[in-house]
């Protein structure tokens, strides 16, 4: 299953009771749209190399390699917004920490479903692996759906929610696979898929943010530290980050955490109480552009360490950060300063109901595999017709997301 990113709607609950930052939703929606497109495009043959992920041994990056970092960046931007609102609402740091932990577990669980869907043994489980994945995701949708406030249907909604949880737990307990040595084992947790990586990054950056949130300079300091960690690990001056599992060291080699922390830095320029230090858009834009130019320069200086998404090099991180900062600054000017958002109507559901939109293509892939539909494996699978197919597929997913959102099916972790 090809996945380029992914993407929880981390700001969803924070903006339910507060004015939405339009540019964040727009940026997330555009990124999600691009993700759906490039994931479908990955199966199309005969296109120029820059339409796919750059090979790991090549010192290069394509626009496809910039999609996942954009989600990490947006994830970082939403962390201060969501956590500050939750702190003000509950006044309890223990409740906030529990919320962070539960959200991390949820993202990792969803990631493990997607990562293991094709590894299960249907003989041992008694059902096909694609059916297992569909039931698991439907259980997740039932459990994490935001049900309307209604006293009349409160019991029904409670039944649906806990039925979804029961389905999830049952599917996890049912899962079995055969290891390379022939032993029967459970889930493979070595790679938690994109959603799981987002979950661990969310945990790591939230820890850093919460422990130093009173110091305005802390995010930029942590960004420098995480970038240095990435550089030292890539240069093999540090070995331990590559040997520790993410549940023990959620910072990894520093690459994903540095990108998300750059989002925290940018969020402080544009949103929240810290942004009052730069009251005008011109001031915000100057500081954001300066940040982007510095990251570009640092990325250029670190090019001897390579440029690669697969190897998670610091130059790849810094170039993607610079692009994300500049893109967000432009979107902020268009959507929040000039209030021009009508052009974003088509991608808006993907920005506001991101997690559901993320799961829809996977549900489609599992469904067509379960029924044995293979037409597109050999038809409309190369060149310009394949590109057009990817465009149509992306549009259909966005339309389905809009329809489900209108039917009040919205996921929130």
Angle (CA) 234-235-236 rounded to 5° is 90
For residue 197, give both structure tokens.
């990586």
- Tens of pLDDT, residues 302-327: 999 999 999 999 999 999 999 999 99
Strand partners, 330: none
Q: What is the pLDDT of residue 265?
A: 97
pLDDT at 10: 43
In this structure, of 77-81, 146-150, 157-161, 331-335, the range with the lowest mean pLDDT score is 146-150
The stretch 153-159 carries a mean pLDDT of 93
| Model pLDDT, residue 92 | 83
Between 104 and 21, whose confidence is greater?
Answer: 104
Cα 100 versus chain centre, distance: 16
Mean pLDDT confidence for 234-249: 94
Query: Residue 19 has what pLDDT?
Result: 55
Closest among 103, 35, 30, 111 to 361, alpha carbons compared:
35
Task: Work out the average pLDDT over 163-184.
Answer: 94
Residue 276 lies in a domain: yes
Judged on CB neighbours under 10 Å (0-12, 13-18, 19+), 409 is: middle
- Residues listed for the chain: 413
Predicted local confidence at residue 8, as pLDDT: 44
Q: Span 342-356, mean pLDDT?
A: 91
pLDDT of 15 above 50: no
**Residue with token string 């990490």:** 72
Q: For residue 170, is it within any domain?
A: no
Cα gap 191→189, rounded to integer Å: 5
Q: Judge whether 130 and 117 are in contact, CB under 8 Å.
A: yes
| Model pLDDT for residues 209-224, shown as the tens digit of each residue | 999 999 989 999 999 9
Per the structure, how many domains does the chain have?
Answer: 1
Paired tokens of 157: 């909604």
Q: Is the dihedral of CA 293, 296, 300, 301 positive or negative?
A: positive
pLDDT of residue 359: 97
Angle subtended by helix axes 93-116 and 154-174, to nearest 10: 50
What pLDDT score was predicted for residue 413? 86
Q: pTM here?
A: 0.92
Cα separation, 26 vs 5, whole angstroms: 17
Q: For residue 210, which of 84, 102, 95, 88 has the smallest C-alpha distance? A: 84
Domain-embedded: residue 411: no
| pLDDT at residue 7, as a whole number | 42
Residue 75 within any structural domain of the chain: yes
Q: What per-residue string of b and e applies to 360-379 under the rule 16 or more CB within 10 Å gives b?
A: bbbbebbeebbeeeeeeeee
* Residue 134 forms part of a structural domain: no
Note the pLDDT tens digit of each residue in 122-132.
999 999 999 99
Q: What is the pLDDT of residue 21?
A: 86
Average pLDDT for residues 8-31, to the nearest whole number?
67
- Say how far apart CA 39 and CA 94 lie, in whole Å: 39
Average pLDDT over residues 243-271: 95
Residue 342 lies in a domain: yes
Give 70-86 pLDDT, tens digit per residue: 999 999 999 999 999 99
What is the spatial distance between Cα 261 and Cα 255, in angstroms, rounded to a whole number?
10
Residue 360 lies in a domain: yes
Domain that holds residue 100: 12-119+188-406
204 within domain boundaries: yes
The pair of structure tokens assigned to 14 is 């924070």
Residues 122, 345: Cα–Cα separation, whole Å = 42
- For residue 1, the model assigns a pLDDT of 40
379 and 33 Cβ atoms separated by less than 8 Å: no
Which are the contacts of 8, defined by CB distance < 8 A and separation ≥ 6?
75, 103, 107, 195, 198, 199, 202, 354, 355, 358, 413
Average pLDDT in the chain: 92
182: alpha, beta or left? (left if phi > 0; alpha if psi -120 to 50):
left
Query: Where does the pLDDT of residue 49 fall: very low under 50, low under 70, confident under 90, or very high at 90 and above?
Result: very high
> Residue 353: pLDDT above 80?
yes
């Amino acid at each position: 299953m090809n996945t380029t990113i992914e993407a929880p709607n981390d700001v969803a609950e924070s903006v339910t009771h507060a004015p939405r930052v339009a540019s964040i939703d727009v940026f997330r929606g555009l990124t999600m749209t691009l993700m759906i497109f490039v994931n479908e495009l990955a199966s199309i043959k005969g296109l120029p190399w820059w339409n796919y992920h750059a090979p790991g041994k090549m010192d290069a990056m394509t626009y496809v390699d910039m999609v996942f970092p954009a989600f990490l960046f947006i994830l970082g931007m939403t962390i201060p917004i969501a956590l500050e609102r939750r702190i003000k609402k509950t006044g309890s740091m223990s409740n906030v920490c529990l919320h962070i932990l539960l959200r991390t577990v949820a993202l990792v669980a969803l990631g493990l479903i997607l990562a293991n869907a094709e590894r299960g043994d249907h003989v041992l489980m008694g059902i096909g692996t694609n059916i297992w994945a569909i039931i698991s995701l439907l259980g997740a949708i039932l459990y994490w759906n935001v049900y309307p406030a209604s006293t009349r249907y409160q019991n029904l909604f409670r039944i649906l929610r806990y039925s979804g949880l029961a389905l999830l737990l049952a599917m996890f307990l049912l899962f079995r696979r055969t290891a390379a040595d022939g032993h029967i084992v459970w889930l493979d947790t070595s790679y938690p898929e994109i959603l799981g990586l987002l979950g661990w990054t969310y945990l790591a950056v939230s820890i850093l943010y919460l422990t130093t949130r009173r110091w305005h300079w802390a995010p930029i300091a942590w960004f420098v530290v995480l970038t240095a960690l990435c550089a030292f690990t890539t240069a093999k001056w540090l070995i331990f980050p590559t040997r520790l599992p993410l549940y023990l060291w959620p910072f990894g080699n520093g690459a994903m955490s540095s990108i998300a922390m750059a989002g925290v830095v940018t969020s402080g320029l544009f949103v929240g109480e810290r942004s009052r230090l730069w009251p005008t858009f011109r001031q915000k834009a100057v500081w954001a552009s300066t940040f982007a130019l510095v990251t570009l320069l640092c990325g250029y200086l670190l090019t001897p360490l390579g440029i690669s998404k697969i190897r998670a090099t610091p130059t790849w991180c810094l170039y993607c950060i610079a692009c994300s900062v500049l893109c967000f600054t432009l979107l902020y000017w268009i959507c929040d300063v000039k209030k021009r958002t009508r052009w974003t109507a088509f991608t808006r559901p993907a920005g506001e109901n991101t997690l559901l939109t993320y799961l829809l293509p996977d549900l489609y892939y599992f469904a067509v595999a379960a029924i044995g539909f293979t037409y597109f494996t050999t038809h409309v699978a190369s060149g310009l017709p394949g590109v057009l197919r990817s465009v149509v597929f992306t549009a259909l997913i966005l339309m389905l997301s809009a329809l489900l959102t209108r039917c009040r099916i919205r996921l929130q972790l």
